[in-house]
Chains A and B, each alone.
Chain A
Amino acid sequence: MPQSPLLKVASLSFERDDCTVFQPISFSVEAGDIVQIEGANGSGKTTLLRLLTRALEASSGSVFYAGVDIDQCLYDYREQILYLGHQPGVKLNLSAEENLRWMSPASTAPEAIVSALADLGLRGYEDVPCYSLSAGQHRRVALARLLTSRAQIWLLDEPFTAIDKQGVAFLEQCMQQHLNQGGAILVSTHQDLAITGVRKIRVEPADDAGGF
Chain B
Amino acid sequence: MGSGRDWTWFHRLGSPRWFYETTGRWLPLLWAVTLALLVVGLVWGLLYAPQDAKQGNSFRIIYLHVPVSFLALAGYYIMAIAGAVGLIWKMKLSYMVMKSAAPLGAALTFLALFTGAVWGKPTWGTYWVWDARITSMLILLFLYLGVLALQYAFHSQDTGNKASAMLALVGTVNIPIIYKSVDWWYTLHQPATIKLTSAPSMHPDMFKPLLVMILAMYCFYALVLILNTRVEILQRERKTGWVRDLARQADTGPDNQ
A residues apposed to B, CB below 8 Å: 16-18, 57-58, 60-63, 69, 71, 208, 211-212
**In the bound complex, CA of A71 to CA of B1 (Å):** 8
Having A57-B1, A69-B2, A212-B239, one finds 11 other A-B pairs with CB under 8 Å, namely: A16-B158, A17-B157, A18-B236, A18-B239, A58-B1, A60-B1, A62-B2, A63-B1, A69-B1, A71-B2, A211-B239
Chain A-chain B contacts (Cβ-Cβ < 8 Å), number = 23
Chain A nearest CB, measured from B107 CB (Å): 27
The answer to whether B156 has its CB under 8 Å from any CB of chain A is yes
Contact of B1 among A17, A18, A62, A211 (CB under 8 A): A62
Binding site for A on B (CB under 8 A): 1-3, 156-158, 236, 238-239
Cα separation A60 to B11 with both chains bound (whole Å):
14
Known: A16-B156, A17-B156, A17-B158. A61 touches B1 (CB 8 A): yes
| Cα–Cα, bound, A164→B1 (Å) | 40
Q: Which residues of A contact B157 (CB under 8 A)?
A: 17
Min Cβ gap B11→A in Å is 13
Q: Which residues on the A side are within 8 Å of B158 (C-beta)? A: 16-17
Query: Chain B nearest CB: distance from A77 CB in Å?
Result: 13
Measured CA separation A208–B239 after assembly (Å):
10
Q: How far is the CB of A53 from chain B (nearest CB, A)?
A: 14
Smallest CB-CB A-B distances: 5 pairs: A62-B1, A17-B157, A58-B1, A17-B158, A69-B2
Interfacial chain B residues near A211, Cβ < 8 Å: 239
Question: What B residues does A18 contact at CB under 8 A?
Answer: 236, 239
Q: Which residue of A lies closest to B239 (CB)?
A: A212
Interface centre among B1, B158, B238, B239 (most CB of A within 10 A): B1
Please, which residues of chain B bring their CB within 8 A of the CB of A57? Answer: 1
CB-CB under 8 A from A212, the residues of chain B are 238-239
Most A CB contacts (10 A, CB to CB) among B2, B3, B158, B238 go to: B2
CB distance from B237 to the nearest CB of A (A): 8
Query: What separation, in Å, do the CA atoms of A57 and B1 have in the docked complex?
Result: 7
| B-chain residues with CB within 8 Å of residue A16 when the two chains form the complex | 156, 158
Give complex CA distance A63, B236 in Å.
29
Q: How far is the CA of A78 from the CA of B244 in the complex (A)?
A: 44
List of B residues within 8 angstroms of A208 by Cβ? 239
Q: How far is the CB of A153 from chain B (nearest CB, A)?
A: 18
CB nearest neighbor in B for A72: B2
- B3 contacts across to A, CB distance below 8 A: 71
CB A126 to nearest CB in B, in angstroms, measures 39
Shortest distance between the CB of A197 and any CB in chain B (Å): 30
Q: How far is the CA of A208 from the CA of B156 in the complex (A)?
A: 17
A residues within 8 A CB of B1? 57-58, 60-63, 69, 71
What is the bound-complex CA distance between A58 and B90, given in angstroms? 12
Complex interface: chain B residues within 8 A of A62 (CB): 1-2
Which A residues lie within 8 Å of B156 (CB)? 16-17
Q: How far is the CA of A212 from the CA of B156 in the complex (A)?
A: 17
- A61 contacts which chain B residues (CB < 8 A)? 1
The CA-CA distance from A69 to B1 in the complex, in Å, is 9
